Amino acid sequence: MIKKDKIKPLREILVNSNLNARKSLGQHFLFDQNLTDRIARVASDNTNDLSEYTVIEIGPGPGGLTRSLLDHKPKQLYVIERDPRCIEFLKQLHEVHTNKLTIIMGDALKFNISSIGQAPRRIIANLPYNISTALLIKWLRQIKHIEQMTLMFQTEVVDRIVAQPSRKSYGRLSVITQWLCEPKLEFHIDKRAFVPPPKVGSSLLTLKPRPSPLHPAQFEYLEKITAVAFGQRRKMLRSSLKPLDIDLPALGIDPTARPENLSIEEFCLLAQVIERRSLG
C-alpha cells in the first residue's frame, strides 16, 4: 500500500514514461488539475461531494480526471479503459483507493450501464472523440439507469446536441437527446489544455434525464424517423418521407417543411404513426 502523498504528480509520470496519446483510440490527455477539478465540481453540482453516487468514468487515460473525481469522494468510482498502457497508471491510484476505485479494462461500447455499480449513477468523462456520439446514443437507450451525465465532447457535437429547430446544427442527435434529457452547456475548453492539442475545440456538457420523455414515443421509432428525415435534410418532408406514406397534413405538419424545421413533438407524432403501423 502506498500513501496518497507518495503518488507521483501526473505530469512527472507521463514525462518519464513517454506515454503518447493514440489517435486510433481518440485520446487527448488532460494534465491541468485546475481544469479536472473544475469538471469534478460541475459534476458534483458544485458541492464538491459525490458521496451519494456511483461514478463511471470512460477513457480515463493515465488518470488526470480520475484523481479529481476521487478527491470528491464518490460512493464508488468505476473507470473503463481499453489501453493497457494506461492501466498501469490507474493501478497506482487503486493502491491508495482500494475500496473506492474499480478498474475495468475493455471497450465501453460493450458495457451496459445497469451492470456497473448501484444506482444512482453519474457518468463523468472526457470522452474519446472517435466514439463519443456512439456512446451517447447507447446511454440514452439506458437512460433510466443514469442519474446524470457530465461529458466532454468536441464543441461541434455539443452544438448539435443543444441545437434548437431551424438551426443548421439541429438534427437527429438534437431531437433524441433533448427528448430524454435537459442539456446544459457548462463551459468551453481551450485546445491547449490537452496533450496532444486536438484540431477542434471541446466543451463540457451536463445532461440531466427528464422524469419522463418530453413527448410520447418509442426510442426505436423516433430513431428511425429522424434517420430517414435527416438522411435527406435538404429535401422537403413530402419528398424525404415519401417512402413512409405518412399523411403529414393530418398531423398538422407542413409537407413543404424541411426536417430541421420540425419540433421534437412533431417528430414524436411521426414516430407514433410508424409504431402503430408496425403493430398492425
- Please tell me the predicted confidence (pLDDT) of residue 15: 57
Contacts of 75 by beta carbon, 8 Å cutoff, 6+ apart = 50, 51, 52, 53, 54, 55, 118
Write the CATH number for 233: 1.10.8.100
| 164 inside domain | yes
Whether the bond between 120 and the residue before it is cis, its omega within 30 degrees of 0, is yes
Q: In this structure, are 185 and 236 located in the same domain?
A: no
The answer on 260 and 196 residing in a single domain is no
The DSSP secondary structure of 125-181, one letter per residue, reads: EE--GGGHHHHHHHHHHTGGG-SEEEEEEEHHHHHHHHPPTTSTT-SHHHHHHHHHE
Question: At a CB cut-off of 8 Å and minimum separation 6, what does 42 contact?
Answer: 150, 186, 187, 204, 206
pLDDT tens digit string along 15-57?
A: 556 666 666 665 677 878 899 999 999 999 999 999 999 999 9
If 0-12 CB within 10 Å is exposed, 13-18 middle and 19+ buried, where does residue 32 land? middle
Its pTM surpasses 0.85: yes
Pick the last residue of a domain from 169, 188, 209. 209
- Tell me: do 223 and 191 sit in the same domain: no
Which residues in the chain land under pLDDT 70? 1-27, 280
Q: Do 200 and 223 lie in a common domain?
A: no
| pLDDT, position 13 | 58
205 pairs with which residues across the strands?
A: 151, 185
Same structural domain for residues 260 and 195? no
Q: CA 35, CA 261: separation in Å to the nearest integer?
A: 37
Say if 214 falls within a structural domain.
no
Amino acid 86: pLDDT? 87
Q: Same domain for 20 and 154?
A: yes
CA distance 14 to 18: 6
Is 238 found in the same domain as 149?
A: no
- Whichever domain contains 67, its CATH number is 3.40.50.150
Q: What is the pLDDT of residue 1?
A: 39
Residue 44 lies in a domain: yes
The answer on 262 and 203 residing in a single domain is no
Based on the fold, state whether residues 73 and 100 are members of the same structural domain.
Answer: yes
In sign, the C-alpha dihedral spanning 118, 121, 127, 133 is positive
> Could you tell me the residue range of the domain that residue 25 belongs to?
4-209
- Nearest CA to 57 out of 131, 10, 101, 123 is that of 123
Q: Which helix (DSSP H) or strand (DSSP E) does residue 270 occupy?
A: helix 264-278
Domain limit, last residue, from 191, 209, 227: 209
- For residues 58 and 149, state if they share a domain: yes
DSSP characters over 231-243: TTTTS-HHHHTGG
**CA 160, CA 158: separation in Å to the nearest integer?**
5
**157 shares a domain with 78:** yes
Distance CA 91, CA 175 (A): 40
